[in-house]
């Protein structure tokens, strides 16, 4: 399967195939948690000019199946993070988007815990260094 090229700027990649919860694949209309969350993230972003620099992308399966709904936050030259255990709702979307703004302002993608929005605390699953770099 070939990759689809996207920009290297600030982006949130939503797992489009995430379940709604470990027990439930989707809502009553058959929409999965990841697909719903992608819609909510875009709606919140589009409704607030402060979030317009954040690209929302979707990709099938981030391999965080035990922790739905999952997203990957990334930008060139910075740490990237996979976060999960979200409800696909507006408060979760705002927390992720608010964190993304703090992340964008940081030099290497590291935000002091005291600055994290409450809605992302306890949701971080992984941290990865940017390509070609590690911390000493």
Confidence class of residue 127 from pLDDT cuts 50, 70 and 90? very high
34-75 confidence digits (pLDDT tens): 999 999 999 999 999 999 999 999 999 999 999 999 999 999
SS3 19: coil
Check residue 21 and give its pLDDT. Answer: 85
Q: What is the pTM of this model?
A: 0.94
Distance CA 40, CA 130 (A): 28
Contacts of 9 (CB under 8 A, 6+ apart): 53, 55, 75, 76
Query: How many Å apart are CA 29 and CA 106, to the nearest integer?
Result: 40
């Amino acid at each position: 399967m070939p990759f689809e090229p996207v920009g290297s700027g600030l982006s949130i990649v939503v797992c489009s195939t995430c379940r709604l919860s470990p027990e439930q694949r989707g809502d009553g209309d058959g929409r999965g948690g990841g697909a719903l969350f992608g819609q909510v993230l875009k709606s919140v972003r589009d409704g607030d000019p402060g979030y317009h620099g954040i690209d929302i992308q979707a990709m099938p399966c981030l391999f965080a199946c035990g922790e739905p709904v999952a997203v990957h936050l990334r930008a060139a030259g910075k740490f990237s993070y996979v976060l999960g255990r979200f409800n696909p709702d507006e408060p979760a979307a705002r927390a992720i988007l608010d964190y993304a703004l703090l992340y964008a302002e940081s030099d290497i993608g590291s935000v002091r815990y005291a600055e994290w929005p409450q809605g992302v605390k306890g949701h971080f699953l992984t941290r990865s260094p940017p390509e070609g770099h590690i911390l000493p």
